[in-house]
Structure 1
């Protein structure tokens, strides 16, 4: 078995089992424990896992972008729906948005189906299916389909987004930190989101309460680029003060 295939299977085992051991993987794949340790080192460098004595555990927050879309969509559904209802209220007077391919943003798009005055630019292939019967105008970026994330990616996708100026970029992230800003784990997706941010007059960050004070591997945006933060529950007082001082409108 090729190294990349073995690593891919180890990643899937982590997603399913949350933890793995060097000894069991060595036996399962008929390779030395040293080979497995090197595989785990590579996955740790990608932010997929944290090494432990004799094995590794899944970094669930940091690896959510590597989990298939429908599996991600099932995670923390109530929080995503709570965020979506609040986003719909904030977007009442907004007519053009750029929407990323995240499952959290997808919950929002489901609530905008009756907005015949709304135009959505998105790289989400799932959005095309979901909004096929709706009143909204949908502009698909096109590009190379990532079948795991159900998102369009590549140069064509990025150039398409650059053709449109929108009122609001509606994006999610994997973490927000007061010093670093918003971060993500998938470099390709982060690059697309950065272009959406650049093409938007305002930026709305959708983030559930679990992701405050968390940092992903890839930088997404500085704090001063964010205009709105929408979350599922009231953040701590220090975060509320932080958003106020940085002129960020908080919605929960």
Structure 2
């Protein structure tokens, strides 16, 4: 086997399992452990993995918390497309929860400018002013301690309020999605607790996420992908991501 072929297979194993071990690769490819270490060093120099004691792990980006004003402006066109897909799922009579997410802000704008007759519940503080001129939406605002990073209210009071409701549809954003561990992440414990509760209290929970988030991890895992009725994202996903979501029986919109 040529070196390039071995490197490609190592990357395939990494993509599937998230980590590799030198000894196991040596036995698999029938080459010395020193040769495998050279392979891993080369792939590390290419930026695709991080070597560890006895092996290597997939090199994934790590999300940093940023203010809502910054996040709202990033990937604007993509977020509007995702919001439009989510908007089409909402029907009259629904009880909908929008948690603190930049995509949910654009979803809220679509709802505010529509004639849909729903009950909308949110802990995102910048959403209520959008409804000043809307006569058809019953808007319920969750109280709590304001967090300027998330753009919403969090903490024990918010959790207590959210826990009293059941939602037909809950729309949740994420700082990162790991298809190796099937986990969905956010940047803070408080935000994660709120998102986790929204998912559990929703008859249908939808994950709104840009395709780039599938290559990012963050601090707090608040859900597994299997807990969502569907993932709503960009159309231009790689075949690998589509395959992994299909294996998990996660619907893709």
TM-score by length of 1: 0.70
Moved more, 144-153 or 104-113: 144-153
Q: Deviations over 1:104-149 (max 9, x none)?
A: 1111111112244211111011011122222321111111112343
More divergent stretch after superposition (187-196 vs 237-246)? 237-246
RMSD (Å) for aligned C-alpha atoms: 2.0
- Mapped to 2, the partners of 1:184 and 1:150 lie a distance apart of 14
State the Cα deviation string for residues 69-122 of structure 1 (Å, max 9, x = none).
222211111111111111111224671111111111111111112244211111
How many pairs were matched up?
191
- Structure of greater Rg: 2
What per-residue deviation string (whole Å, max 9, x for no partner) do you get for residues 38-71 of structure 1? xxxxxxxxxxxxxxxxxxxxx99612x3x22222
Query: Does structure 1 retain, via aligned residues, the 8 Å contact 2:91–2:118?
Result: no
> Structure 1: which 5+ runs fail to align?
1-58
Q: Which consecutive segments of 4 or more residues in structure 1 shift more than 4 A?
A: none
Q: 1:70 to 1:60 in 2, by over 3 A?
A: farther
| Cα distance between partner residues in 2 of 1:94 and 1:178 | 34
SS in 2 for 1:243: helix
TM-score, length-normalised on structure 2?
A: 0.70
Residue of structure 1 aligned with 2:236, choices 224, 230, 234: 234
1:146 aligns with: 147
Partner of 1:243: 245
Consecutive unaligned residues of structure 2, counting only runs of 5 or more, are 1-59
Shift in CA distance, 192/222, structure 1 to aligned 2, threshold 3 Å: same
* Change beyond 3 A, Cα 1:214–1:147: closer
